[in-house]
Structures are given as structure tokens and as C-alpha cells.
Structure 1
């Protein structure tokens, strides 16, 4: 049986066909008790298809399951693909909300444009998330920093080996319950400075959220792990001296005078939704905010002189992560083994907003359930 129950008017109506084999309540509760990250998935997924002849259509929510692809599907050969990441949060009254999904929809559009993919209307992006969360509301965890991670993505599904934008594209949204990123308490991470690899170059895809950027970071991430570090920091591709971002997070430097500095967006850095939100919250807390180039030399000398007192990174999964140590070859720079005051104050402010513990004065939260 199929039912259609869109929450808002959309250019695409996502019709629900309930899964014939959903997990039992006992199975679901066991998963939600210890979900980890990206290990388990809900009973359903949202999807739609675009063709050059007909545009967007075939919108539906159906049982989560494997995809069938032609071996010549363009995404497998030319990596024409983009994705997003955001979360659904259950508030104390049981309602479910998303944090700034409109910003994710806008970035999804920018990424599609850069990868020569069709642009999904913002209302359809939002409707797909609402429809999936409505179908799998029982999968949204409660308590602590648990949430339901949402992964919208789009890829070239046309079977054709010619090098051109695909004439058929599939869009999907899958969901995965996520536990607290730091279940044992927030702990600073260690960073390896990559001198041999770059994440993105001017004119490239650095500002788009596409899988190729992450694939390009994996060799450097493996190098970081070999040196006992948790994450890798990339420098600019032209001069090799300007700090850009981690493999999947934006960086911030807290100065002694209370100024929070983050590398300016140059077209090679991903414009993070969390990044922008933190800058707004920092201003509201009376902190100075600067978006400008930051060199490795400034980082190392600033920590040595005491001018830089905290370093942290941000992203959807971890929210805000303190950085305790930078390893650059044989040189080590440390900002301590405990999270800084400003880092934790901003982290708490963001989480309180996302979980509905403080008033949303920005209109950032979007209710997903009635």
C-alpha cells in the first residue's frame, strides 16, 4: 500500500511505500543503544531520478536496500557525484528538527553546478528529508548528543562511457542513527600537517562537497595515522604555506585577546554550515571574528608565544573538536590536552540550540515532524 503525506508543498511529492521487512522494535532499540556512526541504517530511503528528457520525477520513499547499477554507470568511471550531511535532532517534547537544512540545500545546488549535475530544487531537497524522517521517526535517538545523521547524495547513473555530463542522474537520502562523537567526554585530537599532499587547487572542486575530494584526502589521512595522529591538515596548493582545512572539518584559532580566526574562503575550502554558524555565535558572545589567511608559521609561532591559546575544528559529525597537538615532521606544537574555554562555550551554545535547550533567535531550526 502506498500513501502520500508531504508536510509542505514541493515540486516533488515523495510517496511512501512502507518496507515489507522493517526491523523489529527490539532490534531497533538494540541499535539505538550503541549506534556508533554510519554503521546502521533506517528502514527506508528517499529517492528521485532526473533525465535530460523529462527533468525530475519518480520521487518516492521506499525500503532501504541495494542499488542496481550498470557497470558502465558514469559515476563509477568519472566520479560525477555530490553529497551532503546533516542531522535530525529529537527535542525534549518528542518533536524532531533539522539544523539549517536550507543551507545544506543551497550548498547541494552549488556542488551540483560545479560537477555538471542537475540542480535539485531546494523545496524538493527539504521535502525528501521530511518524508524520510516521517517514515523513520522511531529511528531518531533520544538523550545525550545522539541524533539521526542524514546523507542526501546524487550521482550519474547513466550507462555510457563517453566523457560528458550524464543524461540520467539518481538522487537518494539515507539515514543512520549516530551516537555521541565523544562518548567518553570531549578530548583534543592530534593533527598531522601534510606537506606531500594537497586537498584542492584553485579552479578545482575544493568548494564542492563531492566524493573525489574525500578520496584525495585518504592517502594523507593514512600518513597521519602512521604518525599517531587523528586527523590531517592540508595547506594551499600554490605556496604550501596557508592553512586550509582538515580532511572534513574547518579550522579555528582562538587568540589571547578573544579573537576567533578561521581561514578565509578562497574557492578551495568547503563552506561549512557549522563553520558559518560558529562565526555567528562567536560574535554574539562578544568575541572578535576574522576570516583571513592563516599561515603555518602564524600557527606555530602564535602557540609558542602564547598569542594563540586554543585551536579547534568543526563539522557536522563532531560539531566542535578541540585540537591539542600539531605534528609537522619532527616539530610538535601543543595547545594542551584539555579543551579550551572558548571552544567548549561555543560547542555548548551550538548543541543547546540544536537540541532545543535554548531559544532559536536565528530561525535556524526546521521542524520535521508535526
Structure 2
């Protein structure tokens, strides 16, 4: 299969907002969109997106995972960016109708259909740097994807960054392209200087998130991650993993985690760490790089609890384990 996120279905579902109304969603070609060169999104970054997946079960049925949470988060992002509001039912219908068109193209696990709703400001007005766009475009792309890490389980290397944030603190809850762009420079430098896979942003010693995923520390029966606030993304996969951990009877702690505590715990036998996100699900972390020194987490290899949590989530998504929390929504043919 092609590189993750590069293989798109030929069509997408598309609607626009203008004159205080949304147009009827349509199935259109996904090879291009038409924008005025002065479109708000191109100058003032009025853009947000989501990432979720649909999975094919053994009987051929297809289910989309936690669509309601992703739609709610996209509504939140749109509101924080002052983009036109859209009803949840509109985006739900777009996702389900688009999936119904590609049911036969959804691959079997561990592959899936990645779904990328996107909302952008389209008003042609380069004088509105401090004003929202009055028009917008909402569309849903579909992409066949395989496993995010095609080479199997390799424990990641993270550079701890204490002097910078991933993005502006008040924008952390927004799933916007600008947040990923602001993290790109530190990540590229970390890769070049330390052969790190990602940067763990810990401003003033507060362990937050990496450039593209939430961070989770596992120490025996304890699972520790930053409590939700406006400074970082409220991951749907993060919430799913923590819910499964509670089902297992683990002590889930959503609280402040300092770099000092992280490094102290990391050296203990059996300690684990992982990154959670839609694409990678739960990726093991084996090494932390801090002030030029490398610190192995546990034995530096993927940990058993990390793999167990990921396997459980995958089995729910793939229909091989009971969906106790109502996370799956069946996709019907049109």
C-alpha cells in the first residue's frame, strides 16, 4: 500500500456556506478545489480538520469509530477559529454517505479507510486579518491506509523540549494546520541533531504532547497523562485508551507530570511510555533525550502494557472484541 495518507478515493463529499446557509452536500471529484487567491484560509489560516477511521469486519460489514467525538471536536475547532458553525448532523451525513460510496474499497484490518473532514474559510478578503471569514467550505476526503509504522514495532525516540510549546497556548485545543506548522521546525531540528522521531513539548517542565500525538506514561498499574486544558489537543484515541485502562482496573491519573518526575520514573524496571493518535493508535516510546543525555524508558523496548492496550483497542475497532462503550457506528449501503 502507498505511504500513509497519500492514496485518496476519487471522490469526496463537499458543501459550502454562503449567505448564512449551507448548500446541499454533493459527491464531487477529490482531485481539486476552487479557491480565490484572496481566500481567508490562504492568508489567515482559518482551517481545521479531523482524522477518524472506518474498519471492515470479518462479515464484510463496515463501522466508523467514534464519529460523534470527532464531529464534536471539529465543531469546537470551528468555533474557536470563528468559522461558520455547522450542525453535527450535516457532517455525520457527509461522512456516512461518502463511506457508503466506497464500501467495497475499504480494506481489511490492519488496514482501514482514513476519513479527513476539513473546514476552511473561503471569503476573498485580504483585509480581514482580525475578522472571521463569512463563507467557508466543508469537505470530507477518504484515503485507504495501512499500518502507520510499516516496519513493525520500534520504540520511538523523543527529544524533551522545555523552552518552547507546540503552539500558542490558547490554540492547543484546535486541530488546525497552523499548530502542526509551528511544531515542524523543532521536530526537524530534533531529527537532524539527535535522530529523534518526535519532540515532546514540556514548557517550563510541564509534560504536554508531541508535535502530532498525546503522551502517556505507564508505570506498573499507573497510567499518567496531562489533564485536559486548552493548551493541548483532546485526543479521541487518548480518551479511548484511558477508558480501556480503567476497564482493566488501572489507576488512571490525569494530572500535571513534570520532566523531573518523568525522568525519575523512566529509569524504573517495567516503566513504559507511548504516543496516542488516530494514525498510529498507540506507539511505544523507548528513549527520552534531555539536555544531550539519553534516558531509556524501562528496557528501551516496546512494553507489554502498551501492546495490550493497543491490541484491545484494535480488536474493538475490528469487531473482534465487544464494543462495551458504543464506539462503533455501522455504515449502511445507500
Regarding TM over 0.5, the answer is: yes
> CA contact under 8 A between 2:275 and 2:282: conserved in structure 1?
yes
Query: Which residues in structure 2 correspond to 1:1-370 (within 5 Å)?
Result: 34-51=1-18, 53-143=19-109, 145-163=110-128, 164-202=131-169, 204-226=170-192, 227-236=194-203, 240-256=204-220, 258-304=221-267, 306=268, 309-335=271-297, 336-370=299-333
> CA contact under 8 A between 1:50 and 1:57: conserved in structure 2?
yes
SS in structure 2 of the partner of residue 243 of structure 1: coil
Shift of 1:329: 2.9
**Aligned mates of 2:148, 2:181 — CA distance in 1:** 22
SS in structure 1 of the partner of residue 25 of structure 2: strand
TM-score w.r.t. structure 1 length? 0.86
SS in structure 1 of the partner of residue 305 of structure 2: helix
> CA contact under 8 A between 1:299 and 1:308: conserved in structure 2?
no
> CA contact under 8 A between 2:200 and 2:207: conserved in structure 1?
yes
- Distance change >3 Å, CA 307–CA 297, structure 1 → 2: farther
Shift of 1:207: 0.7
Runs of 4+ deviating beyond 3 Å: none
**Aligned mates of 1:43, 1:150 — CA distance in 2:** 13
Gapped runs of 5+ residues in structure 1? 1-33
Shift of 1:200: 2.9
**Aligned mates of 2:251, 2:164 — CA distance in 1:** 32
- Equivalenced residue count is 329
C-alpha RMSD of the superposition: 1.3
**Aligned mates of 2:121, 2:329 — CA distance in 1:** 30
> CA contact under 8 A between 1:44 and 1:136: conserved in structure 2?
no
After superposition, give the CA deviation of every residue in 1:34-90 in whole Å (9 maximum; x if it has no partner).
Answer: 133011100110111112x23211411122221121111110100011100001111
Shift of 1:292: 0.2
- Distance change >3 Å, CA 253–CA 308, structure 1 → 2: farther
**Aligned mates of 2:72, 2:116 — CA distance in 1:** 15
> CA contact under 8 A between 2:83 and 2:134: conserved in structure 1?
no
**Aligned mates of 1:139, 1:221 — CA distance in 2:** 34
**Aligned mates of 1:299, 1:170 — CA distance in 2:** 43
**Aligned mates of 1:75, 1:179 — CA distance in 2:** 30
**Aligned mates of 2:49, 2:168 — CA distance in 1:** 20
**Aligned mates of 1:58, 1:122 — CA distance in 2:** 14
